[in-house]
A = this chain, B = another copy of it.
Amino acid sequence: MQTILVLGAGRSSSALIDYLLDKAVSHGWKIIVGDMNLGQARQRIGGREKGEAISFTIEDEANSAEVIRQSDMVISLLPAHLHVRVAKHCLAHKKHLITASYVSPEMKALHQQAYDSGLLFLNECGLDPGIDHMSAMEIIHRIQSEGGTVTSFESFTGGLIAPDTDPGNPWRYKFTWNPRNVVMAGQGTARYLEDGQIRFIPYTQLFKRVTPVQVPNYGDFEGYANRDSLQYRELYGLSEVKTLLRGTLRNHGFCAAWHILAQLGVCDDSYSLNCEGLTHTGFTELYLPSGPLPAEERLAKFFGLSLQSPEMHRLRWSGFFSHEPIGLKQGTPAQITEHILNKKWALNPDDKDMIVMWHRFRYDKNGKPGEIQSSLAVTGTDATHTAMAKTVGLPMGMAARLLLEGRITTRGVAIPVFTELYKPILQELKTYGIVFTELTRD
């Protein structure tokens, strides 16, 4: 019997654990789910056959080593910075590892050791990164196999809410993923390739330099650039590409309003302030010049906005000018902003999230330009069975299955850009309703 160890039973684990338990009987697997919170791990297993919940923390080195030693493969859903500690145990005990996180420099440094040990440390195998890589590579390989050259690749993914969820929410957004990462998104400088030239976008301009995206049947979106698109030129094998941009998708109008929050300075996590007794509008005040007008009017004036502008409407709806107490004693601006936003952006039990992914490929074939747009929309069932958990978890579960079945030859630290991975996974994802729609222009 083969044992799969899943580390972490948090928000994104439900679909993965369900998938593994579903396959466990026919495949003769045992699924061990480890979490700091044993009750949470037990709940994910729900008493099903072949499942076992254990208490787990990577801080307990001896126990971590032992449970990893006893498994055949590890899937880590721990916070990204902990994956390398898991990977070191995997190296010591010769176990494969799967994660949905970006390859960190520390993880990358383990490539040769993993390769020499005949192990696969598969990362970026969730939604974004994950399904985006796989669906992009399928089309890139198809264009290339038909003699075409990809000249431009743009790709945006967003975790949004379904059209019928919270219809009065002008942002068309709620927290379906780590709220802290949402508030601090984009800090630093993004780099991408456009018309053959490297371009940089500092945080100050990130939410102003957006790409408009129309997804047939799903409406108008916009994308802002992710940290570093350039590395995918090599990883995707796009040596001739002139434009290469990966980013985050939001509903139209989100970015212009978020730009105001970024400019205001309320997403800063570098210092802490006392906010006992402070109201929402009192917090906003801290970032405005003083004056006789109310905070709302001063903010609008300072940024040259009308009070009726969509940006002001979104800030008002989120409560940034309300006299409600914040309800925190102390926090960084980012923590306070997250706390305020969470009052409106926390998912209600019946809320449905929605994943939207969009790729645009431009290519030259036989001297003629062509374009393919490929898009995906997946809607969640409720606040537990989210589209996010499904699209992040299923690719990892499917990769685990393929690997245990001996159908994957890739070794070392890798991401799912190889045919042997993306082809069967994309095929199986279709049976779960995860299907891309293509629009081709010649």
Contacts and interface: CB of A to CB of B under 8 A. Distances in A.
Nearest to A263: B204
A112 B199 CA distance: 52
Interface residues of A, number: 28
A265 B205 contact: yes
B286 A200 contact: yes
A189 interface: yes
A355 interface: no
B290 A188 contact: no
A197 interface: yes
B197 A268 contact: no
A201 B290 contact: no
Closest A-B pairs by Cβ, 4 of them: A202-B265, A195-B290, A194-B290, A204-B204
Contact of A197 (B189, B201, B270, B290): B290
12 contacts: A188-B270, A189-B265, A194-B289, A197-B285, A198-B273, A199-B288, A202-B265, A204-B263, A204-B265, A205-B264, A205-B265, A205-B287
A204 B209 CA distance: 16
B188 A286 contact: no
Interface in A171-197: 188-189, 194-195, 197
Contacts of A287: 199-202, 205
A65 to B, nearest CB: 37
Nearest to A194: B290
Given A200-B265, A264-B202, A265-B202, A209 B289 contact: yes
A201 B265 contact: yes
Contacts of A263: 202, 204-205
Contacts of A199: 285-290
A326 to B, nearest CB: 15
Nearest to A190: B265
A262 interface: yes
Nearest to A199: B286
Nearest to A211: B289
This protein's copies in its complex? 2
A286 B197 contact: yes
Contacts of A201: 265, 287
A302 to B, nearest CB: 8
A408 B271 CA distance: 38
> Which of A188, A205, A273 has the most chain B CB atoms inside 10 A of its CB?
A205
A285 to B, nearest CB: 7
Interface string A203-226: 011000100000000000000000
Interface in A29-66: none
Contacts of A204: 204, 262-263, 265
A336 to B, nearest CB: 12
Interface in A247-290: 262-265, 268, 270-271, 273, 285-290
Contacts of A188: 270
A285 B199 CA distance: 8
A435 to B, nearest CB: 33
A189 B286 contact: no
A271 B189 contact: yes
B194 A270 contact: no
A276 to B, nearest CB: 13
Interface in A285-299: 285-290
A289 B198 CA distance: 11
Contacts of A197: 285-286, 290
Contacts of A289: 194, 199, 209
Contacts of A198: 273, 286
A265 B202 CA distance: 5
Contacts of A270: 188-189
A194 B262 CA distance: 22
A213 to B, nearest CB: 16
